[in-house]
Amino acid sequence: MTSERVQRRIERLLDQADAALEDQDYQAALQAAEAALGFDPESGEAKAFVDAARPARTSSTI
């Protein structure tokens, strides 16, 4: 069970990833989502953000 402090941090990171995806800043989205996974490796939301940002980041740099 994660502490409230860690859960708040995860939520902030997921909010950052969400906002970055909205702005099409895929690198920032990926960094925030991967940081959230560092706190909670089983987070389905964080994995979804990574999955969304990773291919978009690759295609935007071509």
Q: Is the pLDDT of residue 35 over 80?
A: yes
Q: Is the pLDDT of residue 18 over 80?
A: yes
The tokens describing 48, both together, are 């979804």
- Contact 28/20 with Cβ under 8 angstroms? yes
pTM (predicted TM-score) = 0.87
The residue type of 1 is M
Range of the domain at 19: 4-60
Task: Provide the domain count of the chain.
Answer: 1
- Contact 26/61 with Cβ under 8 angstroms? no
